[in-house]
Structures are given as C-alpha cells and as structure tokens.
C-alpha cells in the first residue's frame, strides 16, 4: 500500500488542546438550536459526549448529571451533552429515563440541559470524541471544561465501559475557578477548605523571604509553600448566590 492509499483509508481525528479556543459549531439539541461556545460566553460550560442512547452506563450518567445540574449552575457552569444519535432518539430516551428508570436513589429524573444531535459526527470529530481504536462510530466519554472566555481549560477522557466520576468533575471545576480567583494552585486531592499552593518563588530573594516570612505560609522548602484558604470564602466567591 502506498502513502496516498494509506492516507485516504485512515481518517485523522484531531482534538482541541488545553489553552485552545473551543471549536465553534451550531447544532440542533433537545432544547433547541445552540451556538457553541458563543451562547455560553461569560460562564463556564462542560461539553460531554456519550456513546449511544438507550445504553445503561450512559443512562446512569445522564441521570446523575441531571440530578446535579442545579449544583453546577450555582457554580456558573452549564452542561451540554452529545451523542451521534438523532434528535427523536434523544427525546424518546430522555422520556424513558423520566418515566421508567430508577438508579442510585434517583427516579423521575428530567434532563433539562441540551443534548446535541450529531448523526454526521461532525462535532464529535471536531472535538476528537471519536477514538477509532475504541469505536469508529460511537463517541467515547469525553469531558471538556470551557471557561467564560471560551478557552478549553481541562479535558478528561473515559473509555466506553467506564462511567464518569461526577464528584471529580465538580471538584475540578471548583478548583480551576479557585485558581483563577485567588491566583493559587491546588494540590493533589484538594477540596474547598484544604490548603492551597502558592506559586513557586521567582527569584532567590523571594525564596529567602518566604522561608523567613511571618506571613501565613507553611513552607516545606523554598519551592513548596502552602497557605490556608477558608472554605466559606472559596464557595462564596465561586458559587452564584
């Protein structure tokens, strides 16, 4: 097989990177037409994909996201789902979820956030949600965090068989908002109320000052300093009243 034949038969799927502007698209959804990300300018958005309607793992995820939607809204974040199924399939599936499905103590769950119709896989391909090694016609479980300036801030990918951890998705959102508002970093397993990390010193003088400072810093060494950040202060700043 020559190179031209190989290129023709093997389609390349790209994906946006952290720090890129979120690729733009217009789409039909269960909540009407949307323009992404322009419709969400000024607020955070989580764009997530799932393999197919009427599948059990996806059903459990949509019920969980719908159950948590108000919690994400209070954090100035909107949810947008996607699969390569059609609009009527989406509507029938979401109706079935509300009328028949019970999961993890939840029932009568109404999905109110938009679910994108992507039969052509145009959006899924634009966001690298189609992973041919996993499946050529179903989107993997991708999660894109897009900030108020329409910049991709974080990306999480899961295989078809693995349901997402929604506590982690919410934790990541709050952590990034905290970093933005307080100019800090968040360490491993950080949650609101735990100590945050102060950016490493940029000079020898600053490093020495930190080690001898009486400020409310705890420095294990010149490059590893933490400080307390009150949980209520964090939540009051990042959550909408």
Provide the pairing of β-strand 77-83 with 224-227. Answer: unpaired
Provide the pairing of β-strand 115-117 with 32-36. Answer: unpaired
**3-class secondary structure, 66:** helix
* Residue whose C-alpha is closest to residue 109's, from 120, 119, 101, 117: 101
Q: Is 164 annotated as a binding residue?
A: no
For residues 217 and 203, give the distance between their C-alpha atoms in angstroms, rounded to a whole number: 17
- Asked if residue 116 lies in contact with residue 123, where contact means CB atoms within 8 angstroms, the answer is yes
- Asked if residue 155 lies in contact with residue 143, where contact means CB atoms within 8 angstroms, the answer is yes
For residues 160 and 158, give the distance between their C-alpha atoms in angstroms, rounded to a whole number: 7
Any idea which residue has 């992507």 for tokens?
118
**3-class secondary structure, 167:** helix
For residues 154 and 128, give the distance between their C-alpha atoms in angstroms, rounded to a whole number: 14
Query: Where in the sequence numbering do the catalytic residues fall?
Result: 58
For residues 57 and 66, give the distance between their C-alpha atoms in angstroms, rounded to a whole number: 14
Residue numbers in the known binding site for substrate are 141
């Amino acid at each position: 097989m020559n190179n031209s034949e190989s290129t023709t038969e093997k389609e390349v799927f790209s994906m946006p990177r952290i720090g890129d502007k979120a690729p733009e698209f217009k789409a039909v959804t269960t909540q009407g037409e949307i323009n992404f990300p322009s419709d969400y300018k000024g607020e955070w958005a989580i764009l997530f994909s799932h393999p197919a309607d009427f599948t059990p793992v996806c059903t459990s995820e949509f019920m969980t996201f719908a159950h948590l939607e108000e919690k994400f809204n209070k954090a100035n974040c909107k949810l947008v789902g996607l699969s390569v199924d059609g609009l009527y399939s989406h509507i029938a599936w979401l109706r079935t979820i509300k009328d028949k499905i019970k999961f993890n103590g939840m029932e009568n769950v109404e999905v109110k956030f938009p679910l994108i119709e992507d039969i052509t896989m145009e959006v899924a391909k634009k966001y690298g949600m189609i992973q041919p090694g996993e499946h050529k016609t179903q989107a993997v479980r991708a999660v894109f965090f897009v900030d108020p300036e329409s910049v991709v801030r974080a990306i999480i990918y899961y295989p078809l068989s693995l349901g997402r951890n929604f506590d982690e998705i919410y934790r990541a959102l709050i952590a990034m908002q905290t970093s933005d508002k307080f100019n800090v970093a968040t360490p491993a397993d950080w949650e609101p109320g735990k100590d945050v990390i102060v950016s490493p010193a940029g000079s020898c003088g600053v490093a020495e000052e930190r080690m001898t400072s009486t400020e409310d810093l705890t420095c294990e060494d010149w490059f590893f300093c933490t400080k307390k950040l009150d949980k209520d202060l964090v939540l009051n700043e990042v959550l909408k009243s």
